[in-house]
Structure formats: structure tokens, C-alpha cells
Structure 1
């Protein structure tokens, strides 16, 4: 049984006239008659009565009709859904993000995307950069927002935005009232840094920034998330250098100060697997470019 047979059956069942049914199907009558005969042979029952009075559905044909219609409707719905998925109108996007993006407009970005694509389910999870890279490799994420573009084979990325680094100090720090401070003035303070395991590239970069300005930071604590780093600073356990987005996090007990040194900014990248369907990913990144 083929779907073309079912379409021929439905046209003839509606019209009860071979000529009109053939015209409706944009075909001649002989191929229509052959298709009906093939369908009846496949079903194993006579579906139409044909005599001088015209064409009528048999009881078997009447019983067959609802199922045939359901099959055709189901096939059309399946085709429509496939087209919608291919066009990115329907689907599921698994998105990972680092905490700084939450304070750089990620929620507005998500809202803009959902407004344009209401039938796309977006699942978001906060992970540090290394955990997101691992999740991409395991096909557990479709898109990752991370702090590094040093990626293993099979992954690729593009830059999203960059922001300056700021000194992060306890509110009681002597320099809390200063407009800006030098990086070197933090040399004698215990440092709280992002975990080397959580983001090896970022951890090494902060160390290198300090070394380039004359000192090696005295590491006191590490956090697996930037908000943990800022919270530890707020507890008076040390100082840090963090992306500027965290100045908008609203954590009490901490202040952020501009650095007099010209530092390469903190960058955020979108990363994904080279292979695989990228329609939803590209639509999501387009929403970012519109809102950026």
C-alpha cells in the first residue's frame, strides 16, 4: 500500500465518480482505476462497487475510509513538522552559559529569542567553561557561552563580546573609595581566583596578567563560578580581578574599581560542535546580534 493509493481512494470516495476524481488528482482515469485495483489487492477487500448506476463505497470501503483519512492526515502532519524543524520553527536548544553572561543581558537575549520562536524549547544550564566544553563533546549541549576560544578538535567558536577587567575588593578595603587603582597595589593581598580545573585558560590568564605587572598573585582560594569568587571577596577573604559584568550583580560587601593598566579585555565566545544541525544555533546567535 502506498500513500498515492490512499489519495486516489479518498478522491474517489469523495467524488464517487472516476472522471471527477481523476480531474481532482490531475491524472487520467486509467491510472486511477489501476491504483484503486492495486489498493484493493493490497487491502484484500473490495472497496468500491462499480456498475451502470455509478460508483459506491462497499461496507468494507466505508470501514476503510476513516483509517485512510487518519493515515493521510498523520503523514501530512509529520511532513509539516519535519519542515518546521528544518526551518528552526520547532525544536529544542540546549544552552550552556558562564555566570558573567547573566549580568550582560542574557535574560533579555533569551526573551527576544523566545518571542521570535515561541515553539522552540530552550534548556539553559550554568556551567564553567571547561564543563561546557566537555558537555559539547558529549553532545549534551548544542551551544556554549564560554570564556575561551582554545577548543579541542571537533569544536569551533565565534566571539560574542568583550568587557574590561575590574579589581574586585571587599567594601572595607582601604582603596574602596578610590576612583581607580593600580594592579600592582594588589600584590600583597591574598587573591581569590577562578578554579584552574573550571577554566584552565582563564586561570592562567589572570596569573599571567599579574606576572606581566611585576608580581605573582598569592592564591588564597579558588571558586568554580565567578559569583563564588565575588562572594568570597565580599566575605573579606581576599581580592580578585573579574569581568566588569559582575559590577551589576548586586552582591553586597564588595566594590569594583577600574584598573589604571591597559589590560586585554575579558572575552566571551559562543562554541559548538562542527558537525550537526545548526539552524537553531544560528537563529539564537542572530537574536543576540539583534539585541547586542
Structure 2
């Protein structure tokens, strides 16, 4: 006959109790049924696992080996069941989370750390991805949620504002304009600019360009960089000034001066965006934590 988990569990309990009555009570079956189950197991294995007398039950050498082996298997099965139940409730699994430079240099690291502490069995697969690529990745289901610059208004997605910062200008610390406590975008019209590359920073560039045009000029772009570190490095060596997010205040930067732009009162938003058809339980757990986080900051829904 074919063995199943019922046979292994019966022997595991009996092998530890070494008493048919107590084992039967634990298993919630009658003693004759337990005896029959063990006999079937011995018959299938082809070796006696127990010696029985009127006073005691003992394991044979074969029984001791079998009990040791199935104890490990039982532990793995219990662990598998526990993990499966957690996964069904969204407390176990993996979540693919994309982020941009602005997001990871803002409030996102602290939020992700708090989430990891609250849900240690959920693995966050963190992926650096520019905003425009996140748009595509969300729709193609290659990420579960993205923290991106600006808003993504699409019929297939939901979003909420996660973080907001201000526009600032980043200058070399010895730049003449660094003497001012605040600056305006108009005061920068004759400066050379450093920007992120068009393929990675296109959304941010388009918005900054529009603000410059509204003030009668187009930025003279001297050099471009693919990431924030590259932008700051170019600013430090005097290649130009850079428009950036006030999240730079969370980073220790030597050789640069950061000044607010008084004529750009608009906020620079970081949005959390996900596909509304994504039925992942893990995503639901993440979004619940995200909404609780925002309520704790006093943010509206």
C-alpha cells in the first residue's frame, strides 16, 4: 500500500511518547487504529520499528533511525505549512520595489527599514529605475510598486503621494552665488547647468525646462550625468549649477552649497504607483503599511 503523511505522523508521535494510549490521545484516534497504522508502516518498510510488551514500547534500531529521519522531514513540513499560511495572508513572500534617486535620498529608506522590521518574512527586491522606465515596468508587471518622480495618471494604476520636497539649486561651495541665502531661477539664467541625462531624467528635465522657459530663458547645459553622484561631482569641479530636490539635505556632501529657490514654491512630489489589478497579498500588506505610515505623518488619503 502507499504510505502517506498519516503513517509518518502516527509513528512520529508514538516514537516520542513510547505509549500507545498517550499517542492515540494526542492523535485523537483509537488505539486499535494507531496499531494498524504502525503495522502498515512496518509492512511497507519491511522491518520492525517497535518492540511491544504488555508493559512498554521500545524502538528497534531501525525504528530509531526512521524516527530521526522523519523528525527532520516533519519539521520541514511544519515550516512549509507555516510559510504557506503566511503567504496566503500576505505575510511571507517577495515584493519588487523600484525607486529613483530622489526617492532613495528622501524618506524611502526609513520607511523600508520600518517595513522590514514589521514584516521580516517579506523580502523586498529593491531595483533602481528611472521614472519613465517605472511607468513601463508597472504596466508590464515587472515590478509591483514604484516610487517615482511626479504623478503617473493612467487608467490601470493607483497612486498616492509618498514624499514632497522643494526645488533647490546646487552650486560649488566657492561659487559667487553661494554667498546668497536664497536664489531665484531667474538669477541662474546666465549660468552653465549640469543635468541628469535625457533618457533617465526626462520627466524632471521637462518640468525644469518649462519653468525656465516661463522665465524667458533655456538652460545652457554644459554636461550631463546618469545619477546624482555624477551630477554633484560635476558641480563640485565647477562644470555648472544643478537644479535638484531638497532631499539632498539628507546626504552629507562636501564641496557644494545648497540654496532654496524662492520663485519655485511648487512641491517636488514622489509618488508610490502600482497596478490596480495586482492581486498580490504581499502588495496589499505593503500598501496597508504605507497608508498607516502616511496617516502617522498626518497626510490625507
TM-score bin, normalised by smaller chain: 0.7 to 0.9
Shift of 1:243: 0.8
Deviation at 1:201, TM superposition (A): 1.6
Instruction: Tell me if structure 2 keeps the 8 A contact 1:143–1:281.
Output: no
Task: Show the counterpart of 1:11.
Answer: 13
Q: Could you tell me whether the CA contact under 8 Å between 1:159 and 1:269 is conserved in 2?
A: yes
**Cα pair 1:154 1:275 within 8 Å, conserved:** no
Aligned length: 292
Task: Tell me the CA shift for residue 162 of structure 1.
Answer: 0.8
User: Any conservation in 1 of the 2:195–2:242 contact (CA below 8 Å)?
Assistant: yes
Give the distance between the partners of 1:242 and 1:223, measured in 2 at CA: 13
Partner of 2:232, secondary structure, is helix
Q: After TM superposition, give the deviation of residue 130 of structure 1 in Å.
A: 4.1
Distance 2:111 2:236 in 1: 29
Q: Residues 182-221 of structure 1: matches in 2 within 5 Å?
A: 182-221=184-223
In the alignment, which residue of structure 2 is the partner of 1:31?
33
Contact 1:160 1:270 in 2 (8 A): yes
What 5-or-longer segments of structure 1 have no aligned partner?
A: none
Rounded Cα–Cα distance in structure 2 between residues aligned with 1:38 and 1:151: 64
Aligned CA-pair RMSD: 3.9
1:158 is aligned to: 160
> Helix, strand or coil: the match of 1:176?
helix
Alignment partner, residue 182 of structure 2: 180
Which residue in the other structure is 1:231 paired with?
233
Select between 254-263 and 3-12 the one with higher mean Cα deviation. Answer: 254-263
Could you say if the C-alpha distance between residues 17 and 236 of structure 1 is closer, same or farther in structure 2, counting changes exceeding 3 Å?
closer
Task: Quote the residue 2:130 is aligned against.
Answer: 128
C-alpha deviation, 1:220, in angstroms = 2.5
Secondary structure of the residue that 1:238 maps to in structure 2? coil
Q: Are the equivalent residues in 2 in contact too, given 1:231–1:251 (CA < 8 A)?
A: no
1:241 Cα deviation from its structure 2 partner: 1.9
